[in-house]
Amino acid sequence: MSRLVVVGNGMVGHRLVSAMRDRDTAGTWEVTVLGEETRRAYDRVALSSYVDGRSEEELRLDDDGLRGDPLVTYHLGDAVSRIDRDACRVTTASGRTFDYDALVLATGSYPFVPPVDGRDLPGCFVYRTLDDLDAISGAAAAAVATTAPGRRSAVVVGGGLLGLEAARAMRLLGLSPQVVEIAPRLMPVQVDDGGGALLRSLVESQGIAVRAGVSLTGVARDRDRLVATLSDGVELDADVVVFSAGIRAADQLARDSGLPVGERGGVLVDDRCRTSDDAVWAIGECAALEGRTYGLVAPGYAMAEVVADRLLGGPARMTPEELDMSTQLKLLGVDVASFGDAHASTEGALEIVVNDPVAGTYSKLVVSDDASTLLGGVLVGDASRYGVLRPLVGAQLPDDPVTLISKGGAEPDASALPDSAQICSCNAVTKGDLCTAIHDGAHDVPALKACTRAGTTCGSCVPTLKRILEQEGVEVSKALCEHFDHSRAELFQIVAGAGITSFSALVESHGRGSGCDICKPVVASILATLYNGHVLDAERASLQDTNDHFLANLQRNGTYSVVPRIAGGEVTAEGLIVIGEVARDFGLYTKITGGQRIDMFGARVEDLPAIWTRLVDAGFESGHAYGKSLRTVKSCVGTTWCRYGVQDSVGMAVELELRYRGLRSPHKLKSGVSGCARECAEARSKDFGVIATEQGWNLYVGGNGGFTPRHAELLVSDVDSETLIRTIDRFLMFYVRTADRLQRTAPWIESMEGGLDHLRSVIVDDSLGICADLDAAMERHVDSYADEWAGVLADPEKLSRFVSFVNAPEAPDPTIRFVEERGQNVPAPGRPDEPVLIGLPEVSPR
């Protein structure tokens, strides 16, 4: 049996071992893994999520099978210190020796720290490993505990991918981050000047200061603080300095053994990933293919696959041209993507740019000189089309390039992609690979993931996997997510029929795993609909979306909105005075909305209980602006005041809003009641709208505004108030029970076989015999309703969650800043000299 020694237990080393064991069915290689870190292999791509609450176990790569494999042995926490190439032996720091027939170096990289004075002072850190994050978290907690609010700050050296992730982490830890980038823009490798300008604006709008075009020249200690000096003479006061200014290949072990390295570092390898020594290979960030190193996981995975193939007698080779350097990620809540020749370095390349400063998006395609072939692109603010654009690189464009990146323009479908198009760049999976797997029986996304690895690293290609399944004629499963094989509607029936009252009980009896961001909020909504318990009770609190978690809508600068219910738009003078006093005392921005209520913006999370105490004491309750539930019932003044009104529209609107308040549903619900045919309440643009007639009421359903506006259609006409309410009861309960996740009422009705006629037969004619059950379900909801904010204020445990930082509950978020505009507080903008992006296509030859 041959002996393989792998030096390094990072993502790429783990991938090599996994590939070897998958392919070596005859068991010809015995694998020994030697790692410097004591931890098992974990996902460094998702490193920053560790600060956001993910555990080490959740980040760990799935190596349980490997660790139980008799042909794989791990020795962690014991770095290799010497390679004896003549004896084919490695020695570790502890003195242990291991002989090899093949040695693979997967030592990765180390953070580059600029050679400036003070870089080793206490409080200076690198951002690379979980141990680094543990150390940074400890320092941040100490700073929050001892430094006055407003002074707690961190300097992040580096404005690339990892630098912006580090800035986000600093903010989560309670420090105000300042990013220093030597290049003139953020993410200079991935985005161009236009994309960089928008990215900077979006980042600064979140209270993160950016200093581009300057470098760090030194760090000094001033009593208990650090002072970072920049090349322009500016001094930045900081509690913590984090270096995230790039990486360097960890090639010292290879250098010491006499292996050739590249001019800029990295172990020189050929197109087989073999070094000058036939028994030694190098992969990942430590390897220099044709003299160049690669800092992304996808090229490292590709190298691992080549070496595994070679060690087992295969012919695999690779060239730099075959490596995909595309990236897609969400930084500080901002979508950023870059693919192909993003900087238009190809001779004769044209750049098509669409800037939308209002929407906060920047899109650029780089095409050939005849505008027929896609070469690359940059997307900032909205990267939703990345999944279908990136695989088209090198292929004929299916449409005019401007329309491909314009809002509302054509989006290429999966059929436009050639079989050679690489769908998953992380794992080098082509459309042809996926189609073959589908024809071999992989008929859903989990099956495709299992047999091709597509979508298992960053996940950005998963929407395209679904499109390809549909293109190949596979009926895509309606499974809610990988944890449940059932649709939302099926889960609703399971929960109701079995009397299940918790997520843990449901996943144990009808699912698997621990749940995700898709299934947890859905099940939380189902439980709230059926049992109307408080959404923050016990286990349910951990299931909620961000907005439901704090019973308020998160805004762009990290503050929240406060929206008390004003049923039917009717409010007393005393109520208006209370709202005005609350807004004044807490410095909130006030706005009268299209739903006829008053929104108050800019509330800090720690102030929400005090604000709501005053509102609840004045008789207000939650307006549920944060939930997938009834928002408002808009009304005109009807017969109360209007000489054209034929029914009491205000009274009906108030009755409907108070009846359906708090009803959790697959998507938000909006309604309106108009007192006559003049339709001042715009009822036909609502999910359910009511228009008064001389004989009674007309009920319209399935309307909405938004990106795809629809007019509601007439369901019943000239009905009395009792019949109207009974019909709406049934409509809403049938929708809540049978709609898909995030499906508005309009597409729900369209998806029914028979459409509106079928809906009418079910809830008016009782064709399914379920109307009595629907009626009873609505009565249970009405009878059990309780205001969610009143419930929070009465429960100390629920109140304890309303803090900016769990490790410093008394501390407000120091990154939140306001300026005054038209007499009110609004979020502080970016720099006033920021370039403004003009929303016009541009074509420029290179």
Instruction: Select the more confidently predicted residue: 214 or 54.
Output: 214
Mean pLDDT of the chain: 89
pLDDT for 707 equals 56
pLDDT tens track for 452-464: 888 777 666 777 8
pLDDT in tens, 158-186: 999 889 989 988 988 889 999 999 999 99
Residue 478 pLDDT: 76
Q: 224, exposed or middle or buried, with CB in 10 Å at 0-12, 13-18, 19+?
A: exposed
Instruction: Give the rounded percent of residues in the chain with a pLDDT score beyond 90.
Output: 61
Kindly state the average pLDDT of the residues 436-452.
Answer: 86
Same topology, domains 2-110+249-322 and 326-412? Answer is no
In CATH terms, 2-110+249-322 corresponds, of 3.50.50.60, 3.40.50.2300, 3.40.800.10, 3.30.9.10, to 3.50.50.60
Q: Can you give the pLDDT at residue 804?
A: 74
pLDDT for 805 equals 66
pLDDT of residue 843: 46
- Residues 748, 473, 339, 315: is their CA dihedral positive or negative? positive
Range of weakest confidence among 26-35, 73-82, 423-432: 423-432
What CA–CA distances, in Å, run from 800 to 134, 521, 554, 586?
25, 21, 18, 20
Helix (H, G, I), strand (E, B) or coil at 715: strand
Mean pLDDT for 587-591 is 96
With cut-offs at 50, 70 and 90, classify the pLDDT of residue 476: low
Picking from 103-107, 378-382, 668-672, which range would have the lowest pLDDT averaged per residue?
378-382
Q: What is the pLDDT of residue 64?
A: 62
Q: Which CATH class is domain 124-245?
A: alpha beta
Mean pLDDT for 262-288 is 95
pLDDT of residue 451: 86
In this predicted structure, what is the pLDDT of residue 712?
A: 93
Q: Where are the domains of the chain?
A: 2-110+249-322, 124-245, 326-412, 413-477, 488-544, 628-786
**CATH number of the structural domain 628-786:** 3.30.413.10
| Average pLDDT value for residue range 317-326 | 77
Angle at 844 between CA 842 and CA 846, to 5 degrees: 155
Q: What is the pLDDT of residue 52?
A: 75
Measured CA to CA, the distance from residue 657 to residue 786 in angstroms comes to 14
**What residues contact residue 63 under an 8 Å CB cut-off, 6+ apart?**
14, 17, 18, 40, 41
Give the pLDDT confidence of 806-835 residue by residue, as tens digits: 566 677 777 788 899 999 999 887 444 433
845 band by pLDDT with thresholds 50, 70 and 90? very low
Nearest to residue 11, comparing CAs of 390, 339, 303, 320?
303
Provide the 3-class DSSP secondary structure of residue 194.
Answer: helix
Residue range 413-425, pLDDT digits in tens: 666 677 877 788 7
Instruction: Calculate the alpha carbon distances from 141 to 172, 240, 810 in Å.
Output: 11, 11, 13
What is the arithmetic mean of pLDDT over 640-648? 94
Give the fold, CATH level 3, of 326-412: Enolase-like; domain 1 (3.30.390)
Dihedral sign of CA atoms 370, 372, 373, 375 in order: positive
413-477 CATH? 1.10.10.1100
Give the pLDDT of residue 208: 87
Q: How far apart are the first and last CA of the chain?
A: 56
Are residues 264 and 258 in contact, defined by beta-carbon separation less than 8 angstroms?
no
The string of pLDDT tens digits covering residues 144-153 is 888 877 788 9
160 or 333, greater pLDDT: 160
Question: pLDDT tens digits for 685-712?
Answer: 999 999 999 999 999 999 987 656 789 9
Section 348-370 average pLDDT: 89
SS3 (DSSP) at 522: helix
- For residue 76, pLDDT over 80 is answered with yes
The tokens of 609 are what?
């209980």
Q: What is the mean pLDDT of residues 576-597?
A: 95
Question: Residue 214 above 60 pLDDT?
Answer: yes
- Predicted confidence band of residue 108 (pLDDT cuts 50, 70, 90): very high
Q: How far apart are CA 636 and CA 680, in angstroms?
A: 6
